[in-house]
Structure 1
């Protein structure tokens, strides 16, 4: 097991996928981080040197990921709701926000857009 930024990863997991498992860290950012530290895209977590693991952890600590990123998203949604915008009302009702049809398939939007209705 390799410990990166407070998370244990299996030694057989790809470094790229391990980085992408953090919230707000997608494919492009993970590729840029790999390029910055000269890590092969198909490298596994177990093959990394301890110095590289420490450098990755330091890099991730400077980025806005996990809890901080989730809080920012929730603050943005709350700001939209407070202003009374169309998007804010759609978030509050748990309906699709970006123009999708509501006639048939909105179950995933209703599940994902649930926001605290108090306020």
Structure 2
């Protein structure tokens, strides 16, 4: 097991997939980090030297990921709701925000926006 930023990863997990498992860190950012530390895209975490693992942990600790990114998104939605914008009202009602149909398929939007209605 390799320990990166508070998460244990198995030896056989791809480094790219391990990086993408962090919230707010997508494929493009993962590729950029791999290129910065000259890690092959199909490299496994178990094959990384400890020095590189430490460098990856230090790089991730400077980025806005996981709880910090979730807090930023939550604050942005709260700001929209406080201003009373159209998007803020749609979030508050649990309806689709970005112009999707509401005649038939709103069930997933209601499920995903349910957290935002509380508070």
| TM-score tier (shorter) | over 0.9
Quote the Cα distance in structure 2 between the aligned partners of 1:105 and 1:44: 41
**1:23 matched residue in structure 2:** 23
Alignment of 1:1-119 (within 5 A): 1-114=1-114, 115-118=116-119
Aligned length: 118
* Distance in structure 1 (CA, Å) of the matches to 2:59 and 2:110: 36
CA-CA distance at 1:106 after TM superposition: 1.4
2:94–2:117 Cα contact (<8 Å) kept: no
Task: Please list every run of 5 or more consecutive structure 2 residues that lacks an aligned counterpart in the other structure.
Answer: none
Distance 1:94 1:111 in 2: 8
- State the shift of 1:41 in Å: 0.4
CA deviation vs aligned residue, 1:11-37 (integer Å, no higher than 9, x gap):
111100100000000000000000000
Contact 2:12-2:46 at 8 Å conserved across structures: yes
- How far off its partner does 1:117 sit? 3.4
Segments ≥4 residues shifted beyond 6 Å: none
